[in-house]
């Protein structure tokens, strides 16, 4: 998928799941009757879209390609067949939802940090902790998902580069030291 392509939108009919092979996806969400906003970035290894399979209801979130993105897709009909053939498959699909809920709990926890620097460190750790490859995320997107200004994000990223925690490229960030970011982010909660 090309940059900006909407994989699925909130309210779309129920569909299958997507496994992110490469690239990044913007996760857009909102409560009912509200406009979806960027809340997080999905990276390689993430599986998304199981909610409509489990609920049988329309899509609850929106996924948008942030750059050239490659996805695996398991159609809804295949998921239904897999669940019918082996009940343990239904449990595996349910685990995807639990992992998604865990991610949302972490996101809320991260947003409760008082320091903008801690929120940015948390977001970078959440997005990039295991990749060691550039992740395409703009400073604008980081500012949105961390409730900070773009100017603040720019200054914070410069500091993280100086510390040797991250490296920047064109619209991308590579986390070099995820533990340092996590430690920095956790200091805010210790205060």
Residue range 52-97, pLDDT digits in tens: 999 999 999 999 998 899 999 999 999 999 999 999 999 999 999 9
Cα–Cα distance, 65 to 41 (Å, whole number) = 10
**Of the candidates 92, 18, 19, which has an alpha carbon nearest to the alpha carbon of residue 54?**
92
pLDDT tens column, 120-151: 999 999 887 665 667 778 888 899 999 999 99
> Which residue's structure tokens are 């703009």?
138
Cα–Cα distance, 32 to 59 (Å, whole number) = 12
Query: Collapsing DSSP states into helix, strand and coil, what is residue 177?
Result: coil
Cα–Cα distance, 128 to 122 (Å, whole number) = 10
**Of the candidates 15, 40, 187, 54, which has an alpha carbon nearest to the alpha carbon of residue 123?**
40
Residue 173 has φ and ψ, to the nearest 5°, of: -135, 135
pLDDT tens column, 19-39: 999 888 999 999 888 899 999
Return the DSSP state at 73.
E
State the pTM of this model: 0.85
């Amino acid at each position: 998928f090309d940059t900006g392509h909407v994989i699925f939108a909130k309210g779309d009919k129920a569909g299958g799941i997507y496994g992110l092979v490469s690239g990044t996806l913007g996760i857009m969400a909102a409560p009912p009757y509200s406009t979806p906003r960027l809340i997080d970035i999905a990276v390689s290894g993430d599986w998304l879209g199981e909610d409509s399979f489990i609920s049988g209801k329309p899509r609850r979130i929106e996924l948008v390609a942030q750059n050239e993105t490659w996805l695996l897709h398991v159609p809804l009909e295949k998921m239904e067949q897999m669940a019918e053939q082996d009940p343990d498959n239904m449990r595996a699909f349910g685990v995807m939802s639990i992992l998604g809920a865990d991610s949302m709990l972490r996101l809320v926890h991260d947003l409760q940090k008082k320091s903008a620097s801690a929120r940015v460190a948390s977001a970078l750790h959440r997005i990039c902790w295991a990749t060691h490859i550039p992740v395409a995320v703009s400073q604008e997107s980081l500012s949105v998902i961390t409730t900070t200004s773009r100017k603040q994000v720019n200054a914070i990223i410069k500091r993280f580069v100086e510390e040797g925690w991250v490296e920047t490229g064109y619209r991308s960030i590579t986390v070099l030291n995820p533990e340092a970011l996590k430690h920095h982010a956790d200091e805010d909660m210790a205060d």
